[in-house]
Structure 1
Amino acid sequence: MERNDIAEEERPKVIKDDSTDGDDGRAEGDKGLRKIKKSDPFDVETAQFNSHQGHSSNQNLPWGVIIKLAIQSIGVVYGDIGTSPLYVMTGVFPNGIKNEEDILGALSLIFYSMILIYMIKYVFIVLSANDNGDGGTFALYSLICRYAKASLTPNEQAEDKEVSNYRLEVPSRRLRWASAVKSLLENRKAAKYLLLFVTMLGTAMVIGDGILTPCISVLSAIGGIREAASSFGNDQVMWISVVILILLFQVQRFGTQKVGYSFAPILSLWFLCIALIGIYNFAKHDPGVIRAVNPLYIIHYFMRNKKDAWISLGGVILCLTGSEALFADLGHFNILSIQLSSCLVVFPSIILAYFGQAAYLRKHTEDVASTFYSSIPKPMYWPMFVIAVLAAIIASQAMISATYSIVKQSVALGCFPSVKVVHTSKDHEGQIYIPEVNTLLMLACVGVTLGFKTTLQLGNAYGIAVVFVFTITSTFLVIVMIMIWKTNILLVVLYILTIGLAEYVFLSSVLYKFVDGGYVPLVFAVVMVTIMLVWNYGYRKKYEYEFENKVSREALVTIMSNTNIRQVPAVALFYTELVQGISPVFNQYVANVPALHSVLIFVSIKSLPISKVPSEERFIFRQVEPEASGIYRCVVRYGYRDARMEQQFFEKVLIDRLKDFIRNDGSDHGMAMVNEARAQKEIGLVDEAIENGGIKYLMAQSEVIASSGSGCSKRFVINYLYSWLKRNVRQQEEVFGIPHKRLLKVGITYEI
């Protein structure tokens, strides 16, 4: 989060805890200063709130801004799908063209696949299933988790639904299908696990896409050099591609602040060139390929080729690579801008390119292995070669950046180990760089390129990654249609029987090529999903342990009244993941260090299932014990796309918001003069603590082990896999940027 994201006039959300029994938990207040009455002032659990939701992320932007965004989106979103004409025809006909009519059948398949999946599904349906303007697999998951309590970690709070971005509307009980799906996700633990597993699988496949896109794009582009220099073989092309990939990953650390402006002209030129070359080939070689708009050619193609036609679908699907990027990159633009650039530039250019290639192949069937470069007019060869290499690099860049974003989202939602996130732009929060992920991606890309050498088998691997993401997105979309949009069930069935069925047919085709390279993304997905499941399991079990063993109110009162515990002048920030009650780490601390700081703040850093939390609503304060001064709880809430504040700035904002809380909390009592004096006294206590002792940090140094009596599988997962991951990833103090000189760690063992 950037410094300018929080204005000086912002105030924290103030939570006043009354001991009035029977209160229904409804919120009241105004202008961000709200009171929420609770029956228990110390241990607040989730209550029910009502608010309202629309599902459009189209801001009322001026047309000039929308057009500007549409132009920028060309440089960010479409590199992958835009470079697919480099290798699609080769993938459809890996063994050559046996019948000229097959060209029309394949072209018809490409044409209707683009219309059905790229245009109808993604451009006009999926973009609307956004999470307050953000897209991608985790955005869909977080959206579903908000509408149904499908999260497996019990850290929900009533105040979460008060965040302005939450915008929740509970499905009407009159709508049977919506209520049935919501009930299933809330009441069946197996459904929650399945939803999380499918989300992780989709995430792993998108990351796999981030590995395969640079490989196939760069290999395809560089492979064109053989048209002009026949002495170049597969090995030379492979090594040149490896060098380019290594350089590409080395420059990631410098960021992509101007990606939209610098890349848009290159890709715009690319789309213009492939469109013009397509028109040229169409007019020169065989304008009759226009007959492919007749879907009967698809039927004839399958009747002629039967099993071979079904297998060739694994090549056809490559024309749709990058469709998911439309949705994943939505947060950088808006729906209308992407729809405009898709309809006016991208779709027409790509379709013209494919029709031109088909027209060329009708007269030169022997060139199918190098369709793209062979169909370029000779004077245009070298300019197009340079543009193709640049476009391939841009396509790679887009997927690498998307991988960083999705890993950050996974970390925020407790589904991936902590990694270092470097924000490379002061102006654009979404532009990040993750060193560990960058290194792993580079090694994986180089390994895949050296292993496959050519695009033919690589295309098989690429197809599986692409189709798995398609089917997972469709599955989540159906849930959104039924539960959130409350779409007519007949329209949902129509979607399933057309787009959904087509995607599963594509999936069956690419799985047939499992042994011919298709195993690569699946093996990678197994490794990634295993890491994510192990980490999430350990994370949840650790949280549940703290939740079940939290310090009771009576125990806290006893600790505070113990005269043997000495007070130290300072503000102590006690970091804990628990957002309800006090972590058992506090007992461990008092037992080993019989001293308490004069101001103690239990700080919980919490990720909400939304993309962003408005900065003025980031902090929730509560006085832990009304009769004891100087003990507070602070829940700091982030969305999965929010950047963390720098620690020095975080300290200043937190203390300022604490003082605001004390003032506003005191002003709500009946005896205004008395409570104002008390508020001034507490603020003075805070100022004195900072002046005399500064700010200190307390944190758990935890060991997680399986409890006695646990089965072998649980002991293996917790004692070995989770513990190994925990030891080898960034620790909490590194993630939060806590200075070591002011940090005290308390050892504790969690038996889960």
Structure 2
Amino acid sequence: MSLTDRLFGNAESIYWPVFVVATLAAIVASQATITATFSIIKQALAHGCFPRVKVVHTSKKFLGQIYIPDINWILMILCIAVTAGFRNQSQIGNAYGTAVVIVMLVTTFLMTLIMLLVWRCHWVLVLLFTVLSLVVECTYFSAVLFKVDQGGWVPLVIAAAFFIIMYAWHYGTVKRYEFEMHSKVSMAWILGLGPSLGLVRVPGIGLVYTELASGVPHIFSHFITNLPAVHSVVVFVCVKYLPVYTVPEDERFLVKRIGPKSFHMFRCVARYGYKDLHKRDEEFERKLFDNLFLFVRLENMMEGCSDSDEYSLYGQQTQNSAGFLLRNNGNLTTGSSNFTCSTVDSIIRVESPIQGNNNTVTSSGRESSQAEVDEMEFLNCCRDAGVVHILGNTVVRARRDSRFYKKIAIDYIYAFLRKMCRENSVIFNIPHESLLNVGQIFYV
């Protein structure tokens, strides 16, 4: 048997074991790449640097275990495109080597920042670590520079494309949020409109969704300026997603009144954990109105307190561990002898107006009770008349005198990403039959 036959026979005998090991290694590497990509996209979403995509949390115990279907499809398309486009393992290896070396360099620079800013290591230790790491990594980097035209350009092009997307989205999002923050409606302007806000108050409840947790958004003034009527009850809803697994039901909604009672305007901040699902609008409305009615009862109870009782009601109500308010068949009872009313600035302990064997009912108490009944009936009538979900749609445009790259980033890239990303109506599960979009254009 010749030497060639022997070598060929040995190659045949080790082909399948090597093939199996290589396949398993590719599976492990692909899973690591996919998981890292999902984590990076999730962090970019948290910082407002990436368009809104669907994030599925696959674990009840760990926050980092996520799955993003859109990114998974993009990775599959890029993988097929690179494999079918090169058809050469050496060029694919050059592309992979370039990506790995760049990741090593970025990791070293980030590690240097962590040692300086977080760990606060001595500058000599930081310098020694940085120099030793860069000596090795720059050697590899100088080698891959000669392979850029032989397949190494692929990760650079992909990175540049994602950088442009993230920069354009972040710039447009920041400008839109700054516009909403700086154009908030002042309370003096609201009070100057009068009890009916200077408009016809039609029966029903309007839920105005906004990203602002304080103040009246500019979209509301834009709405009432261009339309001759507004709902009898207006609730500004702000949905916030917190980095926790779940938010307890009794702590999910924070309610506050805006302006005097005659305005019938409220603010509601709904807080969700990363595993909490925003249910259909019927479930959301039911919980929102339950907390709104609870707030009205609590407010009237505190107004009915005697002058000796100290209380403060500028923020939202909270419940203690025993539960201070229970509702049985529409009647208000107390589960403990005191309750707490919390605000942004302070928490003040309030003595319950229902204590001991005090059978005396003051005139102020009767008036507050009657006011509570009247407002509850008014809210129920408005709820029966219909609920409308009002979403603001602020469109960002570049000014005519802007530079060409700014026009491309805002009018084309950011506008395209806004159309492609998930809409707020889909995120909030709002049915189209009760949805009202109020748009306005903002020039940057």
User: Could you say if the C-alpha distance between residues 587 and 506 of structure 1 is closer, same or farther in structure 2, counting changes exceeding 3 Å?
Assistant: same
Q: Distance in 2 between matches of 1:671 and 1:656?
A: 23
Deviations for 1:4-41, whole angstroms, at most 9, x for unmatched residues?
A: xxxxxxxxxxxxxxxxxxxxxxxxxxxxxxxxxxxxxx
Task: Please say which structure displays the higher CA radius of gyration.
Answer: 2
Residue of 265, 272, 280 corresponding to 1:631: 265
2:247 paired residue number: 615
1:517 paired residue number: 151
SS at match of 1:419: coil
User: Could you say if the C-alpha distance between residues 512 and 730 of structure 1 is closer, same or farther in structure 2, counting changes exceeding 3 Å?
Assistant: same
SS at match of 2:390: strand
Q: Distance in 2 between matches of 1:626 and 1:671?
A: 25
Q: Distance in 2 between matches of 1:590 and 1:531?
A: 35
User: Could you say if the C-alpha distance between residues 535 and 383 of structure 1 is closer, same or farther in structure 2, counting changes exceeding 3 Å?
Assistant: same
Q: Are positions 1:727 and 2:359 aligned together? A: no
1:602 paired residue number: 236
Q: Distance in 1 between matches of 2:91 and 2:143?
A: 14
User: Could you say if the C-alpha distance between residues 382 and 540 of structure 1 is closer, same or farther in structure 2, counting changes exceeding 3 Å?
Assistant: same
Residue of 157, 177, 184 corresponding to 1:543: 177
- The aligned runs of 1:41-80 (5 Å cut-off) are none
Deviations for 1:112-140, whole angstroms, at most 9, x for unmatched residues?
A: xxxxxxxxxxxxxxxxxxxxxxxxxxxxx
Q: Distance in 2 between matches of 1:455 and 1:601?
A: 60
Verify the 8 A CA contact 1:413 1:607 in the aligned structure 2.
no
User: Could you say if the C-alpha distance between residues 396 and 686 of structure 1 is closer, same or farther in structure 2, counting changes exceeding 3 Å?
Assistant: farther
Report the CA distance between 1:426 and its aligned residue: 7.6
Verify the 8 A CA contact 1:464 1:521 in the aligned structure 2.
yes
- The aligned runs of 1:132-151 (5 Å cut-off) are none
Verify the 8 A CA contact 2:176 2:394 in the aligned structure 1.
no
Report the CA distance between 1:448 and its aligned residue: 0.2
Query: What is the identity, as a one-letter code, of the residue corresponding to 1:732?
Result: N
Deviations for 1:572-604, whole angstroms, at most 9, x for unmatched residues?
A: 321122334222110121123333334322223
Deviations for 1:511-568, whole angstroms, at most 9, x for unmatched residues?
A: 3421121111111111111011111111111111111211111112234524652334
Q: Are positions 1:495 and 2:129 aligned together? A: yes
Q: Distance in 2 between matches of 1:502 and 1:681?
A: 77
TM-score, with normalisation over the residues of structure 2? 0.71
Query: What is the identity, as a one-letter code, of the residue corresponding to 1:696?
Result: V
Query: What is the identity, as a one-letter code, of the residue corresponding to 2:155?
Result: P
Instruction: Could you tell me which runs of 5 or more consecutive residues in structure 1 were left unpaired when the two chains were aligned.
Output: 1-229, 231-365, 368-372
RMSD (Å) for aligned C-alpha atoms: 3.7
Verify the 8 A CA contact 2:199 2:230 in the aligned structure 1.
yes
Verify the 8 A CA contact 1:461 1:520 in the aligned structure 2.
yes
Deviations for 1:478-504, whole angstroms, at most 9, x for unmatched residues?
A: 333333333333333333233355334
Structure with more contact order per residue of length (Cα contacts < 8 Å, sep ≥ 6): 1
User: Could you say if the C-alpha distance between residues 462 and 686 of structure 1 is closer, same or farther in structure 2, counting changes exceeding 3 Å?
Assistant: farther
SS at match of 2:395: strand
Q: Distance in 2 between matches of 1:470 and 1:681?
A: 68
User: Could you say if the C-alpha distance between residues 493 and 704 of structure 1 is closer, same or farther in structure 2, counting changes exceeding 3 Å?
Assistant: same
Query: What is the identity, as a one-letter code, of the residue corresponding to 2:162?
Result: M
User: Could you say if the C-alpha distance between residues 487 and 385 of structure 1 is closer, same or farther in structure 2, counting changes exceeding 3 Å?
Assistant: same
Q: Distance in 2 between matches of 1:701 and 1:647?
A: 21
- The aligned runs of 1:52-201 (5 Å cut-off) are none
Deviations for 1:189-231, whole angstroms, at most 9, x for unmatched residues?
A: xxxxxxxxxxxxxxxxxxxxxxxxxxxxxxxxxxxxxxxxx9x
Q: Are positions 1:645 and 2:278 aligned together? A: yes
Query: What is the identity, as a one-letter code, of the residue corresponding to 1:557?
Result: L
1:393 paired residue number: 27
Q: Distance in 1 between matches of 2:62 and 2:29?
A: 20
Verify the 8 A CA contact 1:573 1:600 in the aligned structure 2.
yes
Query: What is the identity, as a one-letter code, of the residue corresponding to 2:430?
Result: I
- The aligned runs of 1:144-293 (5 Å cut-off) are none
Q: Distance in 1 between matches of 2:139 and 2:272?
A: 40
Report the CA distance between 1:686 and its aligned residue: 4.6
Q: Distance in 2 between matches of 1:421 and 1:647?
A: 18
Q: Distance in 2 between matches of 1:494 and 1:554?
A: 60
1:737 paired residue number: 429
Q: Distance in 2 between matches of 1:462 and 1:441?
A: 15
Q: Distance in 2 between matches of 1:614 and 1:481?
A: 33
SS at match of 2:74: helix
Verify the 8 A CA contact 1:629 1:682 in the aligned structure 2.
no
Going by fraction, where is strand more abundant, 1 or 2? Answer: 2
Report the CA distance between 1:461 and its aligned residue: 1.4
Verify the 8 A CA contact 1:464 1:510 in the aligned structure 2.
yes
Q: Distance in 1 between matches of 2:114 and 2:290?
A: 40
User: Could you say if the C-alpha distance between residues 637 and 510 of structure 1 is closer, same or farther in structure 2, counting changes exceeding 3 Å?
Assistant: farther
Q: Are positions 1:456 and 2:148 aligned together? A: no
User: Could you say if the C-alpha distance between residues 514 and 628 of structure 1 is closer, same or farther in structure 2, counting changes exceeding 3 Å?
Assistant: farther
Q: Distance in 2 between matches of 1:683 and 1:468?
A: 63
Query: What is the identity, as a one-letter code, of the residue corresponding to 1:385?
Result: F
2:393 paired residue number: 701
Going by fraction, where is helix more abundant, 1 or 2? Answer: 1
Query: What is the identity, as a one-letter code, of the residue corresponding to 1:417?
Result: P
Aligned residues: 376
2:161 paired residue number: 527
Instruction: Could you tell me which runs of 5 or more consecutive residues in structure 2 were left unpaired when the two chains were aligned.
Output: 303-310, 313-349, 354-363
Verify the 8 A CA contact 2:196 2:263 in the aligned structure 1.
no
Verify the 8 A CA contact 2:60 2:245 in the aligned structure 1.
no
Q: Are positions 1:471 and 2:163 aligned together? A: no
Q: Distance in 1 between matches of 2:133 and 2:30?
A: 27
Verify the 8 A CA contact 1:585 1:746 in the aligned structure 2.
yes
